[in-house]
Amino acid sequence: MKHPAWIAAVVAAVVAAATAATVTVLSTSDRSRVVKRVVVPSIMPTGSTRPPAIATSRGPFAAGPVAPPAAGAYLGAWVRPETLTQSGRLDAVTTWEASLGRRLDVVNTYRRFDENFFNASEEAFATRGTTLMLSWAGGDTRSVTMGRHDDLIRERARETKAFGRPIFLRYRWEMDRPGLRASMWSPEDYIAAWKHVRAIFAAEGATNASWVWCPTAEGFNGGYAQPFYPGDAQVDWVCADVYAGSKLSPLSELADGFLRFAAAHPSKPAMVGEFGVARAWGADQRAAWLRAAADVFKANPQIRAVMYFESDPTDNKGASQQFRVSDDPAALQAFRSLSGDPYFNPLRR
């Protein structure tokens, strides 16, 4: 007997809700290693669900010196080295690229507020044609706007100008994090500091940076990231960092608020400045999450750059905050599939 379509849909939904995956979570201490079995909801794709198409603008974009690809999205990453040296940074990236079978379009690196921007590894990446993204920590917003760091900011601006090549500059990313409230003071203070820093760069002729504004995905979903936006005239790329860390949710759900924000600013290309799925959720779930993430990126063509966070922390935060895929064969294979997709190879078409 042929049942009505709505009955089949209800049955399918019940089956999907009942599906679960058992994964192993490792909790470590100096003297013990405890293994816990937990059951987490499956996010394995059913093959019938299309990702939401929300940020669908295809431009034209006002993106600054780093122009978005005509179609598709750049692929980049932060790849944590074994040693934080110039050779260590180079080795980490080139080793990971070898495992992917391709070069990254963008290499992300982090800088303290008072740290030089460009060293030997950055020069090496740029020489081979890779775009750099500098994630610059910034300082206390009120001390910045009071001019206490103007000499330091001018030095960074002159360094950027001398570098010459277009770069992404992700100034004080994740400014909406609760842990940064003391130094950000308020969204208004953050915006004033952003404008102050940009004005110094402009005065020094450092016009080769595309300014990337990048809160957390949680902040967009919670409504507390949006007030930090300096405005379309001040921002070149809009961005969010998206993680399935302590909670396993599909990227489409985690990034919903950001995608809606990007759609409301159609002249700005969108970037996922960091993304990752935690080791805690097991190899199969991680692989499924990455495959579904690729579909979300492709369904939202305003996203023109995505950067993986290929790193585990060194302060023992546990498996829910470890995102490296290079030592997880199933997850690595899923990421290799993403990285080999022509959509994420816009410079090689």
Query: Residue 45: which pLDDT band, with cuts at 50, 70 and 90?
Result: very low
pLDDT at 84: 84
Q: What is the pLDDT of residues 292-327, one digit of tens each?
A: 999 999 999 999 999 999 999 777 678 999 999 999
Q: How far is residue 13's CA from residue 100's CA, in Å, rounded to a whole number?
A: 36
Q: Which of 1-15, 224-238, 255-269, 318-332 has the lowest mean pLDDT?
A: 1-15
What are the residue ranges of helices labelled H in 224-301?
251-254, 256-263, 283-299
pLDDT at 34: 33
Query: Residue 228: which pLDDT band, with cuts at 50, 70 and 90?
Result: very high
Which residue reads 């080999």 in tokens?
A: 340
pLDDT at 316: 62
What are the phi and psi torsion angles at 270 (to 5°)?
A: -105, 150
Q: Which helix H or strand E contains 335, and what residues bound it?
A: helix 329-340
Domain borders along the chain are 55-348
Q: What CATH class does 55-348 carry?
A: alpha beta
Asked whether the predicted pLDDT for residue 32 surpasses 70, the reply is: no
Q: Pick the more confident residue, 154 or 25.
A: 154
Query: Residue 177: which pLDDT band, with cuts at 50, 70 and 90?
Result: very high
Q: Do 154 and 206 meet the contact criterion of CB atoms below 8 Å apart?
A: no
Closest CA to 170 of 223, 233, 107: 107
pLDDT at 237: 99
Percentage of the chain with pLDDT > 90? 82
Query: Residue 223: which pLDDT band, with cuts at 50, 70 and 90?
Result: very high
14 C-beta neighbours (distance < 10 Å), count: 10
Token readout for 133 is 């993204």
**Integer CA distances (angstroms), 178 to 63, 94, 107, 215, 216, in order:** 29, 35, 27, 11, 11
Asked whether the predicted pLDDT for residue 8 surpasses 60, the reply is: no
Instruction: Work out the mean pLDDT of the chain and round it to a whole number.
Output: 89
C-alpha Rg value of the chain to the nearest Å: 21
Q: How far is residue 239's CA from residue 231's CA, in Å, rounded to a whole number?
A: 13
Asked whether the predicted pLDDT for residue 9 surpasses 50, the reply is: no
- Confidence (pTM): 0.87
Q: Average the pLDDT over 241-267 and give the result.
A: 97
Q: What is the pLDDT of residues 102-152, one digit of tens each?
A: 999 999 999 999 999 999 999 999 999 999 999 999 999 999 999 999 999
Cα dihedral 97→101→106→111 (10° resolution) = -10
Closest CA to 170 of 150, 140, 197: 197
Q: Pick the more confident residue, 40 or 131.
A: 131
Q: Average the pLDDT over 324-343 and give the result.
A: 98
In 65-176, beta strands by DSSP E: 74-79, 106-111, 131-136, 167-171
Q: What is the pLDDT of residues 86-98, one digit of tens each?
A: 999 999 999 999 9
What are the phi and psi torsion angles at 321 (to 5°)?
A: -125, 25
